[in-house]
Every structure is written in C-alpha cells, then in structure tokens.
Amino acid sequence: MRRPAIAANWKMHKSAAEAAAFARDFLPRVKDAGEKDVILAPPFTALARLGEELAGSRVALAAQNVHAAEKGAFTGEVAVGMLAELGCRWVILGHSERRTLFGETSAQVSEKAAAVLAAGLRPIVCLGESLEEREANRTLDVIARQVAESLADVPDASATEVVLAYEPIWAIGTGRTATPAIAQEAHAALRERLAERFGAAAAEIRIQYGGSVKPDNVDDLMAQPDIDGALVGGASLEPESFARIVDFEPR
C-alpha cells in the first residue's frame, strides 16, 4: 500500500507570524496524520518559525524550491543543506509556476531532484499539461516527456523516495478540477512510464494530484487507484479547510 502524502503549497502567502498562527490552529485538528505524510510548504522566510511550531508533531516541513548546487555564487538562491538545517524534509520542485513564470526546465528539475535526494530529503516533482496541450490531445505525450526528463538524474535506488505531483495547468487556481477519471487516466499513464524507468519500484512511488483540490472533491479523487495524495494550493491556506482535506475519506 502506498502511504498517502498530502502537501500544502502556500506559494507566496503567509509571513512567519501567519505561518506560526496557522500551525497552532491546524495541529490540534489533524486526526490521523500517523497514517499519512502531511506536509506544509511555506515561503522560505517562514520555514524557521514554522519548523519550530511543527517540532515534535507528525507534520513535516517542505520548501517550494532549491538550487542544485551545494553553495556558490548564485545570488538569491538557497541550497538544500540550508533547508535541511531548518528541519525541512521535503522540497517541491518544478511547479508549473516555476516552469512558466521563471523558465525552469525539466533538466534543472532533474538536477535539483538528485541534489535533494543526495542530501537525504525528498522531492515532490511537479508536472502537467497546459490547456492547449490537452485540447490538442497531447497530454499523455507531454507528461511522458516531462516525467522522463524531470527524473533523469534520479538514481534507481532512490526512486521510492520521490513523490510525483500531476498538476494539469488548466486546473491550478482556476476552481476547475480534473474529474477523478481524467486524473486517474494521467496517473495510470505516469505509473506506466515510471515502471519503464524504475521497474517494480513504480508500484511504490506516490503520485499526488494537484489543481483545485478542495474539501468537497478530495474524497472522490482519493478513491482513484493511482491517486496517492494531493498537492493543495488555495484550499490549504485555511487550517479548517486543509485539515478536512488531510482527513479525506475515499468514496
């Protein structure tokens, strides 16, 4: 059985003080995080403070990006060792906003994933097609290429440490969720590509769905056989809403 992984991607929302206030409200609401990975990804500036609030809880800390190098002349960037020092255990990589707004490529995502794994942290590697690609019936080709290129540097021995996040761009922040059937089709195709690349380990790799996940659609999405968790933006900003998503009941 794949252990569900539910992650909050706060994007550029919440100061350190706001992140701490969220944690104090959210932690008592989480019922059975022991059976799941529950992950909060605040902006870099809130990591230290949120890490203090989460210490001793079952909720893990994540960053939203990292540089692949250990250190160096990379103004404005942050290395994985710096994240580890703050208690980060996960790093979101290759979010579509990073790909489209900041020009991040799958090759860079792949290098970053290898660096994250080498440091003993876990990457959440995001991918997904645009509306134009979906309408041109290119979804499965696009995500096959993205998964191959974004995981190219991942050592076979680390494959099960990776979490993939399938996030169709047309569903992100739009309120337009992929139907459970559309998401399942993409997840199943991704798992086939993972099997070609990593063999039997593919059955253990978790694939999250992201794109307008909400308390009222998470149960249906999580009932799909290849949907192993969620990457949640807007609906993760309120403690009550995200706690309800974490406590999903597949139906």
Chain residues that interact with ligand PGA, rule: CB under 6 A = 9, 167, 172-173, 210-213, 231-235
Q: How far is the CB of 182 from ligand PGA (least distance, A)?
A: 15
Amino acid at 51: G
Shorter beta-carbon distance to ligand PGA: residue 42 or 234: 234
Helix, strand, coil content of the chain in percent (nearest 5)? 50, 15, 35
Q: How far is the CB of 164 from ligand PGA (least distance, A)?
A: 13
Q: How far is the CB of 129 from ligand PGA (least distance, A)?
A: 14
Coil/strand/helix, residue 55:
coil
Q: State yes or no: is 95 an active-site residue.
A: yes
Shorter beta-carbon distance to ligand PGA: residue 198 or 209: 209
Q: How far is the CB of 247 from ligand PGA (least distance, A)?
A: 17
Q: What phi and psi, each to the nearest 5 degrees, are found at residue 182? A: -65, -45
Shorter beta-carbon distance to ligand PGA: residue 101 or 181: 101
Q: Concatenate the DSSP letters of all residues of 95-164 into one string.
A: -HHHHHHH---HHHHHHHHHHHHHTT-EEEEEE---HHHHHTT-HHHHHHHHHHHHTTT--GGGGGG-EE
Shorter beta-carbon distance to ligand PGA: residue 79 or 222: 222
Coil/strand/helix, residue 201:
helix
> Pick the catalytic residue: 129, 133, 167, 187?
167
Shorter beta-carbon distance to ligand PGA: residue 60 or 235: 235
Q: How far is the CB of 231 from ligand PGA (least distance, A)?
A: 5
Which residue, judged by CB position, is nearest to ligand PGA in the bound state? 233
Extract the tokens encoding 88. Answer: 């980060």
Separation of alpha carbons 6 and 228, rounded Å = 9
> Pick the catalytic residue: 95, 104, 129, 187?
95
Q: What phi and psi, each to the nearest 5 degrees, are found at residue 61? A: -100, 140
HSE-CB at 16 with a 13 A cutoff on CA atoms is 8
What residues are labeled active site? 95, 167
